[in-house]
Amino acid sequence: MSRVIIWYSDGIASTVAAKITLAKYPNALLVYTSTNSEHEDNIRYRKEVEHWLGKEVIVLKSKKYKDIWDVFERTGWLVGPKGARCTTELKKKLRQGFERSSDLQVFGYTVDEKKRTLDFIHNNPEINISVPLIDRGISKADCLDIVEQAGIQIPMMYRVGFLNNNCIGCVKGGQKYWARIRKHFPEVFARMSKVERELDVAVCKSYRRDETDIDGEDSKRKRLFLDELPEDTKITEPEQSISCGLFCGQYMEEE
């Protein structure tokens, strides 16, 4: 018999996707790939979700790397055009080691992410994917309402203004995201700033003109190290939505 795998992430969207799926497939497996770098409040949230769903979450962890910092330090890789190494090592490889070709795999993509979901389906035709939130026209805002109506307090990362409940200090975050990290988690900001300089890689980009370039041809995207991030960077506006799913990026270590 084929299995139904719900890829759970401690996020509100995957929580609602799980609720919908379990109503149809009560024997579905609820699986979470942990990076060991998430906010500690996620443990509280997960326990409340398990009680609501009546299903225990299976937690997968890397046997090779301790957390995202271990990945950065041992591989010398932060993020690039092909994705983030931490996602590959702590999420993607765990998913690949767990899945079977016959599985129906359920993801918490919302109707707001329809285009990205279609791109994923096109690029991964071998995956039998189910997207119950999109099928029902459910948005991320709807998921928030559903979780709160269930009496579950949303995870801390949402409560302090982040759009996603990813690791504390996601290398795919932009300037507003990192300005918010600096405000709420200054120790993480300082640590990533140090790693950036050690690896000579900047996680943020800035469109700024080089003052030495008279004709302005060099006014394109440049690296912006976190220790250069202006103190007045606004965080009142939402930062960009960050995808840190099991299929984010294409980077794979060559064995």
Q: Is residue 253 part of a domain?
A: no
Per-residue pLDDT at 30: 98
Q: Are residues 183 and 143 in the same domain?
A: no
Q: Are residues 119 and 41 in the same domain?
A: yes
Residue 226 neighbours by CB under 8 Å, 6+ apart: 178, 182, 189, 192, 193, 196, 202, 203, 204
Q: How far apart are CA 190 and CA 129, in angstroms?
A: 39
Q: Is residue 102 part of a domain?
A: yes
pTM: 0.85
Q: Is residue 243 part of a domain?
A: no
Grouping H, G, I as helix, E, B as strand and the rest as coil, residue 31 is strand
Q: Are residues 183 and 149 in the same domain?
A: no
Q: Are residues 91 and 182 in the same domain?
A: no
Q: Are residues 20 and 91 in the same domain?
A: yes
β-pairing, 58-61 with 29-34?
Answer: parallel
Q: Are residues 214 and 116 in the same domain?
A: no
Supply the range of the domain harboring residue 204. Answer: 175-228
Q: Are residues 17 and 123 in the same domain?
A: yes
Q: Are residues 121 and 196 in the same domain?
A: no
- What is the CATH number for 69? 3.40.50.620
Q: Are residues 128 and 193 in the same domain?
A: no
What's the distance, CA 214 to chain centroid?
40
| Residue environment code for 143-156, b if the CB has 16+ CB neighbours within 10 A, otherwise e | beebbeeeebebbb
Q: Is residue 237 part of a domain?
A: no
What's the distance, CA 39 to chain centroid?
13
The low-confidence residues of the chain, meaning pLDDT below 70, are 1, 207-221, 236-255
Q: Are residues 35 and 149 in the same domain?
A: yes
- Counting the structural domains of the chain, the total is 2
